[in-house]
Amino acid sequence: MRADPDRAFGVQAFGVYVHWPFCLSKCPYCDFNSHVRHAAIDEDRFARAFAREIETTAQRIGPREVTSIFLGGGTPSLMQPSTVGAILDAIGKHWRVAPDAEVSLEANPTSVEATRFRGYRSAGVNRVSLGVQALDDVSLKTLGRLHSAQEAMDAVAIARSAFDRYSFDLIYARPGQTPAMWEAELRRAIGEAAEHLSLYQLTIEAETPFFALHRAGKLQTPDESASRALYDVTQSVCAELGLPAYEISNHARPGAECKHNLVYWRGQEYAGIGPGAHGRLDIGGTRYAVATEKRPESWLMRVEASGTGVVTDDRLNSEERADEFLLMGLRLAEGIDPRRYQALAGRSLDPSRIAILREEGAIIVDADGRLRVTQAGFPVLDAVVADLAA
Ligand SMILES: C[S@@+](CC[C@H](N)C(=O)[O-])C[C@H]1O[C@@H](n2cnc3c(N)ncnc32)[C@H](O)[C@@H]1O
Ligand code: SF4
């Protein structure tokens, strides 16, 4: 049997992702697995189901040391702190949790949710990620957000007082946004962000209200060259102010990167718990791509009946694993180790393709052999990956 390439490359992280699938309202740009319910949600019932699915997953894969936990959504900050506590306790009951594990929770920056931050900290959360999205009320209204800019900044201040680590998200390339406007907003944002910012270009997702508006010409987004200018502003301002990109949309002070998201991008192992969660599990030297039922109530019934909501459970062959490694790893500023690709794929990357992409300025190869996408290459990342994987 071939040696496990992860072990050969010292990759030992294990993350647990838990999905809370409910929101107070559906934002018109969002295609995440999030649902609005007008009746009260039975959090205790969900907490029991989360615990059950954690137990089933632990029985399947065996002992692990959890290095990061991420409660994402949806809007996890709608959960009571006791629900979060019950989920974290269940994880700790079935796996060992590393003493320095990162435990993040995604929060919407409304005043109601911010009142729960201290409760989350007592439950074991040590990092929050706030969906601020924009620093002006007109943009927030366009994005369909329920909070004002002031409310978001107040929530950031509460996060700062409750947690050593926090991050927030902004969406840029919004309708009518110029590079100068974005630069001013970004400089203000960095003044508020201690160590980490996620900066996403607005994507028009199929089957969202924004998609229909965009198609009807009622929502104008920046064209390719304007988007490129906005992207370049993002990179230069963040680098100048000490938060360089460590991933295509994520910026941090060195050492403050989100450990959990690094698990995904470095191709490490993680369990996905809750409705519509994805996982990558390593069992007996084989990697499985696992996903659960998306509809919250159907997921609940499946878990109550059988202990798991898993509906997709695919063994990845070496080619699929290697492609995924490339796709995720090249998003990172640190790039990839081509020897790990070789260990996974059983073949090396094509030197002639590497040479062409280097000549085009899309990638560089470091002195230590790591292959990285350049700032010029990031806007065409998909094409770079497709070329290397071919
Ligand atoms: C799924 S949301 C969860 C966080 C939380 N519910 C919130 O909205 O504040 C995670 C992040 O994805 C980003 N996002 C969602 N849809 C997007 C889109 N169509 N384009 C760009 N960013 C998007 C937003 O910045 C959001 O904060
Ligand atoms: S962006 Fe966040 S709050 Fe809005 S619908 Fe998506 S998950 Fe819910």
Instruction: Give pLDDT tens digits for 267-282.
Output: 999 999 999 999 999 9
Q: How far apart are CA 322 and CA 344, in angstroms?
A: 5
Does the pLDDT value for residue 1 go beyond 60?
no
Atom of ligand 2 nearest to the CA of 25: 5
**pLDDT confidence of 390, banded at 50, 70, 90?**
confident
Q: To test the ligand 1 pocket, which listed residue (106, 205, 248, 264) has its Cβ within 8 A of the most ligand atoms?
A: 106
What pLDDT does 12 receive? Answer: 85
CA angle 259, 265, 266 (to 5 degrees): 80
Pocket test for ligand 1, best of 200, 201, 202, 213 (most atoms within 8 A of CB): 200
Spatial contact of 46 and 297, defined as CB atoms under 8 Å apart:
no
Given a cut of 50, is residue 125 above it in pLDDT? yes
Q: Is the predicted pLDDT of residue 10 greater than 50, yes or no? A: yes
For ligand 2, say whether the CB of 73 is within 6 Å of any of its atoms: yes
Say how far residue 124 (Cα) sits from the centre of its chain.
20
Category of 96 on φ-ψ map: left (φ > 0), alpha (ψ -120 to 50) or beta? beta
Ligand 1 binding pocket mutation candidate from 25, 30, 294 (most atoms within 8 A of CB): 30
Ligand 1 centre distance from Cα of residue 88 (Å):
24
Pocket of ligand 1 (CB under 6 A): 29-30, 32, 73, 75, 106, 108, 131, 133, 169, 171, 200, 202-203, 205
Closest to 86 (Cα-Cα) out of 127, 55, 109: 55
Specify the pLDDT at position 228. Answer: 92
Q: What are residue 279's DSSP bridge partners? A: 290
Beta bridge partners of 18: 71, 273
Instruction: Report pLDDT for 218.
Output: 94
- The answer on pLDDT for 322 being more than 50 is yes
Nearest-CA neighbor of 54 among 275, 274, 287?
Answer: 274
Across 150-154, average pLDDT = 96
**CA dihedral defined by 366, 372, 376, 379, rounded to 10 degrees?**
180
- Using a pLDDT cut of 70, give the percent of the chain over it: 97
Gyration radius of the chain over CA positions: 21
Q: Give the Å distances, CA to CA, from 122 to 3, 13, 88.
A: 42, 25, 11
**How many CB atoms lie under 10 A from the CB of residue 358?**
14
pLDDT confidence band for 7 (50 / 70 / 90): low
How many whole angstroms from 384 Cα to the centroid of ligand 1?
A: 25
Residue 142 to residue 175: CA distance in whole angstroms: 9
Whether the upstream peptide bond of residue 74 has omega within 30° of 0, thus cis, is yes
Distance 30 CA to ligand 1 centre (A): 7
Ligand nearest to the CA of 109: 1
pTM here? Answer: 0.96
Backbone angles phi, psi at 302, to 5 degrees: -60, -45
In the sheet that 269-273 helps form, which strands lie side by side, from edge to edge? 245-247, 250-252, 196-201, 165-172, 127-133, 96-107, 65-73, 14-20, 269-273, 278-283, 286-292, 310-315
23 lines ligand 2 (CB under 6 A): yes
For 63-99, what is each residue's pLDDT tens digit? 999 999 999 999 999 999 999 999 999 999 999 999 9
